[in-house]
Amino acid sequence: MITMKRLQLLGRTGFSFMGDVGRATIILYHSLIGKPDWVNGFTRLVQQIYFVGVLSFVIIALSALFIGMVLGLQGYTILNKFGAEHALGQLIALSLVRELGPVVGALLFAGRAGSALTAEIGLMKTTEQLSSMEMMGVDPLRRIIAPRFWAGQISMPVLALIFNCVAILGGYMVGVEWLGVDNGAFWANMQSAVDFHADVVNGIIKSVVFGTVITWIAVFQGIDCQPTAEGIGRSTTKTVVYASLAVLGLDFFLTAVMFGDT
């Protein structure tokens, strides 16, 4: 009997998961498909990019600086054992551009911007702002969800690029300025190892995918939350957990597809 109950529970979870995915897709479809309102839409988009992107800039840049410095320090200690410290630039740049930039950037973005999006939309729902919008004949999906979604998708790659650059500069500061790796060897090895198309562009593609997934999860959790104080809290937690797991899981598949055969 216990086994049957377990099986039933699993089935119910499966159903509710599929239902969530279905509703999330429908919400995304309704908010994005339709005649675009260029003038007002652009203003709202800029405002959301400010909230989602510009306000995440400081945390992204600071963590990038420290991650780059740590990479420089750790890489130097290990490479130094083999007398290969001139390969430091290559180590830092490849690991950042391929993996750390998009992934760590996306995790920070999920924590900083994704949770804020969910909480904001959830509170709008709880205080019935969404319903009153509908009463006034304004589509809340087009008005609230769409600009936030596009803003997240635009901000994430930009932030990931900034993350890469700041972190490489951090690694440069520690490796070259402090520990004394040769400047020319640092950049020359980096340039011969990093390919613009295979590494930089694939990193950007990764961050676009992560941006899409994170903002999608965030707006869906916001609009799907229980309209109570507790519900908002639960949805915000869910956003961060699901978005982080989705980023790490997707990263594996994207890496397997992009770099698996080399």
Partner 1 sequence: MMKMRTVEITVGALMIAGILSLLMLALQVSGLSNFFREEPGYKVKAEFSNIGSLKVRAKVSIGGVVVGRVTEIGLESDTFNAVVWMAIDPKRVNNLPIDTHASILTAGLLGDNYISLTPGFSETQFLKEGDIIPLGSTDSAVILEQLISKFLAGQASTNNKSDQPGGEHP
86 contacts partner 1 (rule: CB under 8 A):
yes
Compute the distance between CA of residue 247 and CA of residue 5 in angstroms, rounded to an integer: 32
Can residue 174 be called a binding residue for partner 1 (CB under 8 A)?
no
- State how far the Cα of 69 lies from the Cα of 171, in Å rounded to an integer: 5
- Report the alpha-carbon distance of residue 160 to residue 64 in Å, rounded: 9
The 10 Å CB-count burial string (b at 16+, else e) for 161-196 is bbbbbbbbebbbebbbeebebeeebbbebbeeebee
Q: Count interface residues toward partner 1 (CB under 8 A).
A: 37
String of contacts with partner 1 for each residue 27-66, x by CB under 8 A: ----------------x--xx-xx--xx--x---------
Asked if 153 interacts with partner 1 (CB under 8 A), we say no
Give 169 or 248: the residue with its C-beta nearer to partner 1: 169
State which H helix or E strand residue 146 sits in.
Answer: helix 146-172
Q: For partner 1, which residue of 32, 70, 185, 208 counts as binding (CB under 8 A)?
A: 185
3-state secondary structure of 63: helix
CB of 104 to partner 1, least distance (A): 15
CB of 105 to partner 1, least distance (A): 12
Which one among 199, 210, 216, 247 touches partner 1, defined by CB under 8 A? 199
The b-or-e profile of 62-81 (16+ CB within 10 A means b, else e) is ebbbebbbebbbebbeebee
Gyration radius of the chain's alpha carbons: 22
Which of 27/100 has CB closer to partner 1?
100
Minimum CB distance to partner 1 smaller for 115 or for 189: 189
Least gap, CB of 199 to partner 1 (angstroms): 7
User: How is residue 46 written in tokens?
Assistant: 């800029």
**3-class secondary-structure state, position 188:** helix
**Residues 155 and 113 sit within 8 Å (Cβ to Cβ):** yes
Q: Closer CB to partner 1, residue 207 or residue 235? A: 207
Position 249 contacts partner 1 (CB under 8 A): no
Is residue 51 within 8 Å of residue 116, measured between CB atoms?
Answer: yes
Q: Could you say which of 127, 191, 228, 237 contacts partner 1 (CB under 8 A)?
A: 191
Binding site for partner 1 (CB under 8 A): 43, 46-47, 49-50, 53-54, 57, 82-84, 86, 93, 97, 155, 157-159, 161-162, 164-165, 168, 182, 184-185, 187-192, 194-196, 199-200
